[in-house]
Amino acid sequence: MSAPQPIHLHDYQLPAYRVTHTELKFDLSPSATRVVARLHLERHSERQEDNLPLVLNGEHLKLLRVAIDGQELGAGEYSVDAETLTIFEVPQRFLLDTEVEIAPESNTALEGLYLSNGMFCTQCEAEGFRRITYYPDRPDVMATFSTTVIGDAASLPVLLSNGNPVERGELPNGRHFVTWEDPFPKPCYLFALVAGDLEKVEDRFTTMSGRDVTLQIWVEKENLDKTDHAMASLKRAMKWDEDTYGREYDLDLFMIVAVNDFNMGAMENKGLNIFNSAAVLTHPLTATDAAFQRVEGIVAHEYFHNWSGNRVTCRDWFQLSLKEGFTVFRDQSFSADTNSAPVKRIEDVSFFRTAQFAEDAGPTAHPVRPDHYIEISNFYTLTIYEKGAEVVRMLRNLLGWEAFRKGTDLYFSRFDGQAVTIEDFVGCMHEVSGQDLSQFMSWYSQAGTPEIDANGHYDYAKSEYHLTLRQRTPATPDQHEKLPLHIPIRLGLVGTKSGDDLEMTLDGETLGKDAVIHLREEEQNFVFTGIAEAPVPSLLRGFSAPVKLRFPYGREDLAFLLQHDSDGFNRWDAGQRLAMLALDDLIAAHRNGVEKVMDVRVVDAFRTLLTAKVDDKAVLAEMLTLPSEAYIAEQQPVVDVDAIHAARTFVKQSLAVALRDEFMAVYGDHQSDVSYAPEPGQIADRALKNVALSYLMSIEDEEAVALTQQQFEADHNMTDVRAALTLLTHSSRSDLADPALKAFGEKWAHDSLVMDQWFSIQVTRPQPDVLERLKFLMQHPAFSLKNPNKVRALIGTFASQNRVNFHRIDGEGYQLLADVVIELNKLNPEIAARIITPLTRWQRFDETRQALMKAELERIRAEELSPNVYEVVEKALAA
């Protein structure tokens, strides 16, 4: 087999043929589904060169018939290979009829048409439609669709597709059919079909122009009591998009379907969103606050795609962030408006700085708009999604909300029904604002995380504050030379006497107390005049750009900002920086075998936090949370997982010993038995209470142990139960862990999503026997390598979150992951290529671990690989 070849952005060509209308007929059967397609095709007006054959994509299809304008084609008129159907001569405008057979039951890749728990469903993004029928499977071919679904009436009572149902009826042999029509032209990646024994909950929404929309959530019968939150979230999202972006829903029906086997979170198919059941189902007794918030965010995300993605779509897959970055920005804003804005920002940024920074620093680093790929499904990444969202956020901040909104209005109206590029989007922003965004475009083309070194000093004599900023973006695998970026830096100068933000004047211009300065050069000096007292600078407020910013803060400075910064985000960040300084010392002490000593300034800062009356409890809970081991690792030149774990545990235990009574008081003050609601006040109280309990349990305080057991047994809501079960399971005492795990596992054996949590909690235990437990759990009846949620819960969680044990020095953690990748490579290449990520980060570790990790990557490379795994492994080993 020859090595898969990359596709390049600069090779883009307009499609030779357009499809104006697509008619599909599915005759469903698990082993032999028949797909009859009639495509209304015409030559593209700008592709008029001679002798252009019609080349259609198609994989894993058995071709039964092909005809043009009703005339069946003979052997010499077309050719078929593993990836294409080519018809040598076609008219300017014609009808193409094909019939193929496919086997949903043997589709374990979960791309195209497959079976999940007896239910037929589809996943077509990015290139799954070519596993359904022969088609120009590219997003710039947009057609209206008419789809007839035929199935067994008894086992498949519900037959769904995009758009509106226009006809239904009985057929011989106990079969029935429904015909659906989608009047909005769409690329085939937005096609969807669902058939199964499903039940629905229904609601209504009246749009801003008074149109009545039916909302349906389709689930397996036993999950009917888990849809309330998704439905409420959907209605909030619909209203928010009208109020915020002026975007109204366009069909009479909007459906969500929950499926158990799904590669990602959810999919925005037109009028028929398909969701991983984990991303839609909630119940107070089965889902945590975090899960409720995740569901709200994903429901909104997929709904928002109806405009940012569906009505206006991507010209090609290099533009993926055009829809994903923008839509993530939209869902983040929605969640911020619906819940606590500062906490949402803290959560998003702390995730971003851990996971996206790591991606940017690793062998698979790529720009927000990549310029080549082998397998597009490897590019549904943190860079495309989250960094893409940060870039849109910077645009919003550069233009201000009003101009940005004018820009989105222009974008949606000008490009409605079209497949466009990132230039088209940024072009609208330029047009409405007149701002020069040419330097800004490098954010889309340049990979890697910019690093800013900041320095400042206060000139008493002149009452001036001098700030120097120097930027540098480190080389990434495909890009050695980097250009300086246009980086907006929001800042304030906090007076050390007053504790207030000082009025800032720059080059004679009054900026106010909180302002944005623009770094465009490699190095720039900023002189703020009229600064009456020595300030501590509060830089990059709200994380105004996706960069690493260093400033030589002393610990007193950070303790000061932690108390006085007017920006909630930077107050939190000051605490994180302060903790990091202490952690750095302790990591060094651990490595040098020196006795660890706790920094009293951190203890004092925490005491102040715990005892002062902080009104935003959700932010307080975040402030009391130490940087994760993964985040700490990101800050180290060579990652020492054991030293990081030891240092972080030491800080946690020291704080618990020193502030035992304060933590106990916080726990007591926030314990409550009001009935569960996923609302911000309650969520904050639970977060705060459970963070306090986790400190107390780190020293296995007897009273805390009793409280944790009580909280577990009270079984009030999953947030509290899961927090308690995690603390009991992660304690050193098997007399606490074992009975609780057993009770929980038996109680929830019937609930797959709860069992996922049960798996995750066990494989994040710090105890050294966890790898053996993981192997044992892989034999558990509830586990299956074919179900992506199970693979993520057990293996993904272990490899990414149990750092000390995954990186065991005997290499057994690596070996286990490689074994799983080799199996999954055959079953589900998309998941295989994702789950491998921790192994690709070998460069960050010591030589012994590097060698062990590389040996496993080599072992994987020796297999016959899917393009997905091939691309990732090649990059990882080339680094």
Q: How far apart are CA 124 and CA 59, in angstroms?
A: 13
The CA-to-CA distance between both ends of the chain, in Å, stands at 24
Question: Which residues in the 335-394 window bind ligand TRP by CB under 6 A?
Answer: 377, 380
Shortest distance in whole angstroms from residue 380 CB to Zn ion: 9
Scan for tokens 């949590």, then name that residue.
Answer: 757
Shortest distance in whole angstroms from residue 24 CB to ligand TRP: 20
Q: Which is nearer to ligand TRP, 281 or 852 (CB)?
A: 281
Look at the alpha carbons of 838, 839, 845, 848 in this order and tell me if their dihedral is positive or negative.
positive
From candidates 23, 182, 268, 640, binder to ligand TRP by CB under 6 A: 268
Q: Which stretch binds ligand TRP (CB under 6 A): 244-252, 260-268, 347-355, 408-416?
A: 260-268
Q: Which is nearer to ligand TRP, 302 or 386 (CB)?
A: 302
DSSP at 6: P
**β-strands 509-512, 119-123 pairing:** unpaired
Q: Is 324 in the site for ligand TRP (CB under 6 A)?
A: yes
Q: How far apart are CA 688 and CA 778, in angstroms?
A: 34
Determine the 3-state secondary structure of 561 from DSSP. helix
Q: Which stretch binds ligand TRP (CB under 6 A): 194-202, 262-270, 795-803, 843-851?
A: 262-270
Q: Copy the structure tokens of residue 57.
A: 């994509």
Q: How far apart are CA 803 and CA 287, in angstroms?
A: 25
Shortest distance in whole angstroms from residue 408 CB to ligand TRP: 19
Q: Is 125 in the site for ligand TRP (CB under 6 A)?
A: yes
Q: Which is nearer to Zn ion, 116 or 327 (CB)?
A: 327
Shortest distance in whole angstroms from residue 305 CB to ligand TRP: 6
Q: Which is nearer to Zn ion, 327 or 654 (CB)?
A: 327
Q: How far apart are CA 270 and CA 612, in angstroms?
A: 50
Question: Is the distance from CB of 394 to CB of 444 less than 8 angstroms?
Answer: no
Shortest distance in whole angstroms from residue 222 CB to ligand TRP: 24
From candidates 263, 473, 671, 698, binder to ligand TRP by CB under 6 A: 263
How far is CA 419 from its chain centroid? 23
Choice among 302, 324, 622, 871 that is catalytic: 302
Q: Which is nearer to ligand TRP, 268 or 622 (CB)?
A: 268
Strand locations in 124-174 (E):
143-152, 158-161, 164-171
Q: Which stretch binds ligand TRP (CB under 6 A): 265-273, 363-371, 508-516, 780-788?
A: 265-273
CB-closest chain residue to ligand TRP: 264
C-alpha angle 549/550/556, rounded to 5°? Answer: 125
Q: Which is nearer to ligand TRP, 308 or 446 (CB)?
A: 308
Peptide bond connecting 82 to the previous residue in cis, omega within 30 degrees of 0: no
CA dihedral 275, 276, 279, 280 (to 10 degrees): 60
Q: How far apart are CA 120 and CA 113, in angstroms?
A: 7
Amino acid at 93: R
Shortest distance in whole angstroms from residue 361 CB to Zn ion: 24
Q: Which stretch binds ligand TRP (CB under 6 A): 119-127, 432-440, 546-554, 794-802?
A: 119-127
Q: Is 264 in the site for ligand TRP (CB under 6 A)?
A: yes
Cα separations (Å) of 321 from 282, 329, 343, 681? 29, 11, 25, 34
Shortest distance in whole angstroms from residue 353 CB to Zn ion: 21
Shortest distance in whole angstroms from residue 103 CB to ligand TRP: 20
- Binding partner at 576 among Zn ion, ligand TRP, none, C-beta below 5 to 8 Å by kind: none
Q: Which is nearer to ligand TRP, 288 or 377 (CB)?
A: 377
Strand locations in 603-755 (E):
none
Q: Which is nearer to Zn ion, 327 or 671 (CB)?
A: 327
Question: Is the distance from CB of 711 to CB of 726 less than 8 angstroms?
Answer: no
Q: Which of 175, 179, 170, 180 is nearest to 156 (CA)?
A: 175
Q: Which stretch binds Zn ion (CB under 5 A): 237-245, 319-327, 355-363, 574-582?
A: 319-327
Determine the 3-state secondary structure of 220 from DSSP. coil
Scan for tokens 């005997």, then name that residue.
Answer: 810
> Which residues make Cβ contacts (< 8 Å) with residue 49, sequence separation at least 6?
none
Tell me, by CB under 6 A, how many residues bind ligand TRP: 13
Question: Which residues in the 325-384 window bind Zn ion by CB under 5 A?
Answer: 327
Instruction: Decide if 302 is catalytic.
Output: yes
Q: Is 320 in the site for ligand TRP (CB under 6 A)?
A: no
Q: Which is nearer to ligand TRP, 179 or 866 (CB)?
A: 866
Strand locations in 653-721 (E):
none
The 278-317 contact track toward ligand TRP, x by CB under 6 A, reads -----------------------xx---------------
Q: Which is nearer to Zn ion, 359 or 573 (CB)?
A: 359
Q: Which stretch binds ligand TRP (CB under 6 A): 12-20, 84-92, 121-129, 662-670?
A: 121-129
Q: Is 107 in the site for ligand TRP (CB under 6 A)?
A: no
From candidates 24, 68, 85, 126, binder to ligand TRP by CB under 6 A: 126
From candidates 267, 666, 687, 794, binder to ligand TRP by CB under 6 A: 267
Question: Is the distance from CB of 648 to CB of 583 less than 8 angstroms?
Answer: yes
Shortest distance in whole angstroms from residue 148 CB to ligand TRP: 25
> Which residues make Cβ contacts (< 8 Å) with residue 188, sequence separation at least 6?
22, 124, 129, 135, 136, 137, 141, 143
Q: How far apart are CA 806 and CA 798, in angstroms?
A: 7
Q: Copy the structure tokens of residue 306.
A: 């109806």
Strand partners of residue 56: 85
Q: Which is nearer to ligand TRP, 121 or 485 (CB)?
A: 121
Question: Which residues in the 648-677 window bind Zn ion by CB under 5 A?
Answer: none
Look at the alpha carbons of 661, 664, 666, 669 in this order and tell me if their dihedral is positive or negative.
negative
Q: Is 123 in the site for ligand TRP (CB under 6 A)?
A: yes
Question: Is the distance from CB of 290 to CB of 618 less than 8 angstroms?
Answer: no
Q: Which stretch binds ligand TRP (CB under 6 A): 27-35, 64-72, 259-267, 688-696?
A: 259-267
On the 0-12 / 13-18 / 19+ scale of CB atoms within 10 A, 346 is buried
Tell me, by CB under 5 A, how many residues bind Zn ion: 2
Question: Is the distance from CB of 161 to CB of 126 less than 8 angstroms?
Answer: no
**Which residue ranges make up the site for ligand TRP (CB under 6 A)?**
123, 125-126, 263-264, 266-268, 301-302, 324, 377, 380
**Which residues does the annotation mark as catalytic?**
302
**Which residue ranges make up the site for Zn ion (CB under 5 A)?**
324, 327
